[in-house]
Structure 1
Amino acid sequence: MKSDRQRLTIWTGASGIIFLLYAIFLIYPIVTILGQALFLKGSFSLHHFALFFSKPYYFSTLVNSFKVSLTATLFSLVIGTSLAYFFAMYQFKGKKWLQIAIIIASMSAPFVGAYSWILLLGRSGVITKFLMNSLHFPQINIYGFWGIVLVFSLQLFPLVFLYVSGAFKSIDHSILEAAESMGATGLKRVFKVLLPLLMPTLLAAALLVFMRAFADFGTPMLIGEGYRTFPVLVYTEFVSEVGGNAAFASALAIISILIALTIFFLQGYLARRFSFSMNALHPIQAKQVTKGKRIAICSYVYGIVFLSILPQIYLIYTSFLKTSGMVFVPGYSLHSYEEAYRRMGSAIFNTIRIPLMALAVVVVLATLIAYLAVRRRNPLTTAIDSLSMVPYIVPGTVLGIAFISSFNTGILGSGFMMITGTATIMVISLAIRRLPYTIRSSVAALGQVSPSIEEAAESLGSSRVNTFLKITVPMMLSGIISGAILSWVTMISELSTSILLYNIHTKTMTVAIYTEVIRGNYGIAAALSTTLTAMTVASLLLFMKISKNEQMTL
């Protein structure tokens, strides 16, 4: 009885502490901005919401965001699904390296891709100049709606590819053979058999792509020009040089959260409606094709992958070019790196220091939350597991505004928790936002560990805590590490929250790259971007080695 009481106290206490942390650093900030949005001069009012919907200038940004996000999602689904289909169904050379290139393309910061495409297809871009001067093409306009869609599509289709590639492994080849025997071949088999089987996966991938596109503000800020999107409006209203309207920005943030939650629940409903289980006793085997068909497949696959990594390749190239003021000139030099490391050395250090501290928090909390959600399930741990997914769908800009409002001027901010402008708030924001990656990976790993192993240890006299630390955690370690590396990669490329929370002492590389691009210091921005890409590639290679997964399907 005493042992049961002790175990109850330990795990209930852990659950209570974690819930308290979420209450302080997630629930309270969201409630704070909700209060700012709903109260005007101490009285309940919908003035700020009415202002948004009554003025076409404001409401059009929401429409623009939906247009961009839906179009990018559609293109990403088509490109990602077709690539996954070719990879699963046909044999051709270079699959391993193509998969690595696709993963690298998916993990780089979207606004870096936007900056790269400006260098390539901007008004003075290298491709633009070549097409105009050599082939007499008219001026290419990379800016605006189609520029944003281009960047998002090439940045986000790898997410669809990774999801669908994993789903193809669950499809039994006998289903395709049966369809073929009944006359369903070619495109008919794709639309009548494969796509219905892939529907739950496609819905999950579509949600992720849409939310990533809808929440991103760096890309439309750089390449959108006059095409304003909703995240840009939220950011500019909060940090406006002529005096930002925090209450109106809070109303916009609440609208953003409501949209995200609506789409999340809609996707969940559709996924449940189309859900079914598959067990591939005879997995799909890639088959040989004729030379002509192989050339066509390779041309498509290699062409798409080349376009997706072209921005990174050109960015690396420009980082070694000489610069004269804000212009690249013929010749090569390490001057951009020397200048970047001399002026932005602290930003590089912060990009390692702050995410590492956040990662330590993520690993500890994710391990505990995964264990509580799987092994100690009750209403409190279920609530914690649900709360952990909220930052997954809430835009980073919204959380940044919520943190500033809560810990600068809110009830806690006016007292002992004035942490705005410190490294602490950066660590907390990164940890809260990137926890879901490690939690889900840890939950998956723990789900494969039989409870009987822990029960056997307890029957031999091991306490629950000792069993957890010495048996359970080591057995789920691969999932913890894999999730931690993915969390790390997204942390070092984070911009939307950091751009609001940083100060001169906590500036990270993504913030430095963004500010240098705005100032026109393209050489320094290219050097920093190349450094960030190198860190990302190294992290992904480490992930693939630890997880022993060369395809890295999701």
Structure 2
Amino acid sequence: MHDRKARRFFRRWRPFGKAWDIWSIVTLISFAFLALFVVYPLLSLLVNSFYDEAGKLTLDHYRDFMQLKYYYQALFNSFKISLLATLFAVMIGLPLAYLSTRYAIRGKGALHILVILSLMSPPFIGAYSWILLLGNNGVVTRLLHSVGIPFTSIYGWQGIVFVFALQFYPHIYLYVSGALRTVDSSLEEAAESLGMPAWRRLFTVTLPLILPTLSAGTLLVFMESFADFGTPMLLGQGYKVMPVLAYEQFVNEMGGNLSMASTVSALMVVCSTAVLFIQRYVSTRRNYATSGMRIVKTRPLSKGMTRLWTAIAFAPVAISLLPQATVIFTSFLKRKGPVFHRGFSLDSYVQIGYKVQKAITNTFSFSLAAMVVIIVMGVAVSYVLVRRASRITAFLDGLIMVPYIIPGTVLGISLIIVYNKPPLILTGTWIILVIAYVVRKISYTVRSSVGILQQLDRSVEEASISLGVPPLKTFVKTTARLMIPGVMSGAIISWVAVINELSTSIVLYHGATATISVSIYSEVFSSNYGTGAALATILSACTILSLLAANWLSKGSKTVI
């Protein structure tokens, strides 16, 4: 009796105004997954921040955060570093984008590729590299001291801002250069014909036209800087920011303060969301649109000016790539313990073969497991978002993007709060790491899959179905195959982000589930720079190869990543 009622209910239920089918099930499974591993953990994190260690309802943690300088100073520090890093990233990325799109400098293709390569290296590896160069006993530090130039080290908030600016300016460059290429030249030409000087045209015509795109780039830089854990932890030396504070409250030597860690994490979520809404308000307050029919042509330069501006364009790119070159070079130096010596050897690589081999295996096995889920779920969800568009699927799209703006430490702490007790204990297992990677990085694949699917004409699917091929088989045999270039390019970006992930891994890993990024962090803190450099080189090599694969797969397709 009950079985018949259940079957009758599902036959009648039409959640999308259509008959119940496989895509309804996909949508429900997606909502269930996000509810279990995004909504429920974050709500539990928020609730947990209102209870003390004895389980009593209280606002003491928020009061302590607002009253004690040790806590609220970390929030001020986070905003200070994020705002300064964003400002300097704009000061580097915006002129570089304008120079490469408006003037005929040499090597634009190489410049574009090198900028992307500098972006793909994780910030904490950049921080580690700058320690080798500008640390207390760094190569450049010793050189400066030898010629009488006073320089302390890169440690402190200035060093954090420096690393962030060089790491994240490519976001500004990529966003702005794309926007500048679509600006209608007639507007700038009209302003020029009215006698407006070039600098004024830039600020009154060009910049307002690209403001929405520029604000999106600055938001991304701010979010990345605000959420990063590795760089402040390596370079801060006591300079507290919110991700570091949340982590230290969670793993305190005296047993940790989970309630205060939850409070700090909840405030980080509030701040990230507030910044997102502010950015959207600023970008939509004024609406500038152009036809894009007349694209601005690059201006020719004299031979001397071409050389000068080319050198100026490549200068910040060369500096931002210096950390990767330093890591690779250092990994081949001879060493005895933590001390480097003259000459080259493979000692560092030999040592990681028996010291942290498990971390390498973990990184690639966990990442591959996550990628299987990301690709399958990303393709299925993107089809629902595009082909079954509705308010429900729009809400699903929003939920998928929520982890994108949440710091990794926050997600890690929230998952531990929920899944460290019955009925489902995942803490300390590899499963919780894979789930966290899927939740954090699936948005790249979804966005690229949506982009490629929007280009595919529905008539191909309709023709297949009209010939009697079932919808699911049509999707697998036809649509999914056509989506492969866009899906794989986005999936490789997800792969790169997963293998480089530190903020989530550092919170969720157990001794046996350490990854390469966690091992690099541990080796640097224990002054084993050679081993750390070898591991970082492996990670950088995987990143570069993945980027080349993504570039090859995306040829001929316009993916949205």
Q: TM (normalized to structure 1)?
A: 0.95
Mapped contact 2:208–2:288 kept (Cα < 8 A): no
In structure 2, how many angstroms separate the alpha carbons of the residues matched to 1:549 and 1:95?
20
Between 1:75-84 and 1:165-174, the stretch displaced more is 165-174
Deviates more, 1:269-278 or 1:86-95: 269-278
Q: CA–CA distance in 2 between the matches of 1:50 and 1:366?
A: 42
Provide the residue aligned with 1:68 in structure 2.
Answer: 81
User: What is the match of residue 443 of structure 1?
Assistant: 450
- What does 1:163-242 align with in structure 2 at a 5 Å threshold? 163-242=175-254
Q: Which of 84-93 and 306-315 deviates more?
A: 84-93
* Shift in Å, 1:195: 0.7
Shift of 1:192: 1.5
* d(CA) in 1 for partners of 2:391, 2:78: 37
Root mean square deviation, CA, Å: 2.0
Q: Distance in 1 between matches of 2:524 and 2:196?
A: 52
Residue pair 2:209, 2:289 contacting (<8 A) in 1 also:
no
1:84 and 1:552 map into 2 onto residues whose CA distance is 21
SS class of match (1:240): coil
Q: Report the residue type matching 1:112 in the other structure.
A: I
In structure 1, the partner of 2:128 is 115
Listed as ranges, the matches of 1:444-523 within 5 Å are: 444-523=451-530
Counterpart Cα distance in 2 of 1:341 and 1:199: 50
Q: Which moved more, 1:141-150 or 1:338-347?
A: 338-347
The answer as to whether partners of 2:81 and 2:157 remain within 8 angstroms in 1 is yes
- Inter-CA distance 279–450: structure 2 relative to 1 (3 Å threshold): farther
1:69 deviates by 0.2
Task: Evaluate the alpha carbon distance shift between residue 553 and residue 455 of structure 1 in structure 2; reply closer, same or farther with a 3 A threshold.
Answer: closer
Alignment of 1:49-88 (within 5 A): 49-88=62-101
Amino acid at match of 2:188: L
Q: How far is the alpha carbon of 1:7 from its aligned partner?
A: 4.9
Q: What whole-Å deviation, never above 9, does each CA across 1:297-322 have from its counterpart, x for those lacking one?
A: 12221110111001111111111111
- What SS does structure 1 have at the residue aligned with 2:511? coil
Q: CA deviation at 1:273?
A: 2.3
**Does the 8 A contact of 2:451 with 2:559 survive in 1?**
no
Amino acid in structure 2 at the alignment position of 1:367: V
2:144 to 109, 131, 139: 131
* Aligned residue in 1 for 2:27: 15
Residue identity in the other structure for 1:146: Q
Instruction: Letter of the 1:435 partner, please give it.
Output: I
Structure 1 462/268 Cα, relative in aligned 2: closer, same or farther at 3 Å? farther
Q: Distance in 1 between matches of 2:119 and 2:559?
A: 12
C-alpha separation in 1, matches of 2:48 and 2:123: 31
1:95 corresponds to which of 98, 101, 108: 108
Matches within 5 A, 1:66-465: 66-133=79-146, 135-408=147-420, 413-415=421-423, 417-465=424-472
CA contact (8 A) 2:451 2:558 kept: no
Residues in 1 aligned to 2:103 and 2:338: alpha-carbon distance in whole angstroms: 47
Q: Distance in 1 between matches of 2:543 and 2:125?
A: 13
Contact kept in structure 2, 1:162 and 1:552, CA below 8 Å = no
Which whole-Å CA distance do the structure 2 matches of 1:388 and 1:527 have between them?
Answer: 35
Residue 45 (structure 1) shift: 1.7
Query: Shift of residue 356 of structure 1?
Result: 1.0
8 Å contact kept, 1:320–1:336: yes
SS at 2:513's partner residue?
coil
1:30 is matched with 42
Cα distance change on mapping 1:307 and 1:56 into 2, 3 Å: same
Q: What is the identity, as a one-letter code, of the residue corresponding to 2:339?
A: V
Q: 1:237–1:244: 8 Å Cα contact kept in structure 2?
A: yes
**Deviation string for 1:216-246 (max 9, x for gaps)?**
1110111111321111100000001122100
Assess if the C-alpha contact under 8 Å between 1:544 and 1:552 holds in 2. Answer: no
Shift of 1:553: 9.2
Structure 1, residues 443-466: CA drift from partner, whole Å, max 9, x if none?
A: 111122223333333333232222
**C-alpha distance in structure 2 between counterparts of 1:239 and 1:183, whole Å:** 63
Inter-partner Cα distance in structure 2 for 1:428 and 1:453: 35
Structure 1 letter corresponding to 2:326: Y
Contact 1:162/1:553 (<8 A) preserved: no
CA drift of 1:287 comes to: 2.8
Report the secondary structure of 1:497's partner residue: helix
More displaced 10-residue stretch of structure 1: 55-64 or 291-300: 291-300
CA distance in 2, matches of 1:69, 1:285: 35
Map 1:529-548 onto structure 2 (within 5 A): 529-548=536-555
User: Aligned equivalents of 2:557 and 2:161: distance in 1?
Assistant: 29
Does the 8 A contact of 1:165 with 1:553 survive in 2? no
CA offset digits 1:307-344 (Å, max 9, x no partner): 10011111111111111221211111111111122212
**Secondary structure of 1:330's aligned partner:** strand
Quick one: structure 1 residues 345 and 363, their matched pair in 2 at CA, closer, same or farther if it must change by over 3 Å? same
Q: CA deviation at 1:402?
A: 0.6
Q: Which deviations, in whole Å up to 9, do the C-alpha atoms of 1:43-100 show, x marking residues without a partner? A: 4321111111110111001000000000000111121111111111112222222222
Q: Choose 321-330 or 177-186, whichever is displaced more.
A: 177-186
Q: Distance in 2 between matches of 1:73 and 1:149?
A: 9
In structure 2, do the counterparts of structure 1 residues 38 and 457 end up closer, same or farther at CA, with 3 Å as the change threshold? same
Partner Cα separation in structure 2 for residue 130 and residue 10 of structure 1: 66
Q: Which amino acid in structure 1 is aligned with residue 511 of structure 2?
A: I
Q: CA deviation at 1:197?
A: 1.0
2:3 is aligned to none
Distance verdict in 2 for CA 1:440–1:239, change over 3 Å = same
Kept in 2: contact 1:89–1:287 (CA 8 A): yes
Counterpart residue type for residue 78 of structure 2: S
Aligned residue number for residue 7 of structure 2: none
The share of aligned pairs that are identical, in percent, is 44
**Which runs of no fewer than 5 residues in structure 2 stay unpaired?**
1-10
Structure 1 residue 166 displacement after superposition: 1.6
* CA deviation string 1:178-214 (max 9, x = no partner): 2322223422221111111110001101111000000
Structure 1: gaps (5+ residues): none
Q: Distance in 1 between matches of 2:296 and 2:360?
A: 45
Partner amino acid for 1:287? Answer: R
Work out the CA distance in 1 between the residues paired with 2:160 and 2:47. 33
Q: 3-state SS of the aligned residue for 2:166?
A: helix
C-alpha distance in 2, partners of 1:550/1:453? 17
Checking the alignment, whether the CA contact within 8 Å between 1:163 and 1:553 is kept in structure 2 is: no
Whole-Å Cα distance in 2 between the matches of residues 466 and 500 of structure 1? 41
User: Structure 2 length as normaliser, TM-score?
Assistant: 0.94
Partner SS state of residue 342, structure 2 = strand
Q: How many residues align?
A: 547
* Structure 2 residue identity aligned to 1:502: Y
Given that 1:166 and 1:553 are in contact with CA atoms closer than 8 Å, whether structure 2 keeps it comes out as no
The CA deviation at 1:102 is: 1.1
Which contiguous aligned blocks of 4+ residues in structure 1 show a shift greater than 4 angstroms? 2-7, 549-554
Secondary structure in 2 matching 1:142: coil
